[in-house]
Amino acid sequence: MTNTSIRRGWTWHLVLGAAFIVQLTGWFATRTTSAELEVLAANGGTQARLDALHVLGNRGVPAPKRFSGAEVQQLLIDPDPRMQRFAMINTVCKFRSPVWQLNHILAGAERADAAWWVDYMIQLRKVGAETVGAGFPMRVQELDWYLAALEGEDPPREEVLKSCGKELARIQAFLERKARRRARRRAQRGKD
C-alpha cells in the first residue's frame, strides 16, 4: 500500500465526517424544542396542533401529563374532525388504555354514519391500541365502506351494525370489566 492510497482513504473519511457534522449542526439548528411544541399544541391552528402533538407524543421521553383523560376528552369534542380522529390513533392510545376513545365509539354506534365508521376503523382496525382492537381481520366489505366513508358517503347503517355487532359487544364488556376493576381498587384503597 502506498502513501498516496492511504492519504486518499483518509481524505474520504474526513470529507464524510465533515458532511456528518454539517448535517448534525443543521438538525440542532432547526429542531423545535418541547417547550415550543407545547405552545404550538396549545395555541396553534389545527395543522400546527396536530403536528406538535404528534411530535410530542413520539419523542423519546413524553411529558407525563401528555394525553391525560382530560386532554383526550378535549380532543374528542374538538369541533375539527381531524382533532377528533387524532384522538383515535396510536400516538394518543399508547400512553393509557383508550377508555375514552372506546366510549366515543360506542356512543356513536347508533348513528353509524361516515364519520363514525372512519373513527371505528382507525381505532379498532388500523390501530388496535387495546386488546379489544383488531379482534377480527378486516373484510373487503369493511374496507369498501371505509374508503367510501373517507369520501363522505355514509355506509349502510344496518349492515354496518350487523357487521361490527360482536366487536361492539366485546368493547362494552371490556369497558364494564375495567369499570368494575377500578371500583374494586377504589374500595380497597378506602379500606386501607
What pLDDT score does 129 carry?
Answer: 47
The H or E element containing residue 72 is helix 69-77
What pLDDT score does 180 carry?
Answer: 92
Contact 120, 84 (CB under 8 A): no
Total-model pTM: 0.66
Residues 192, 124: Cα–Cα separation, whole Å: 38
Average pLDDT over residues 73-81: 89
What pLDDT score does 115 carry?
Answer: 86
Amino acid identity for residue 156 in this structure: P
Contact 154, 113 (CB under 8 A): yes
Give per-residue pLDDT as tens, 28-74.
Answer: 666 778 888 888 888 889 999 998 888 888 876 665 567 888 888 88
> What is the residue extent of each domain of the chain?
97-192
Read off the pLDDT band of 99 (50, 70, 90): confident
SS (HEC) of 30-48 = HCCCHHHHHHHHHHCCHHH
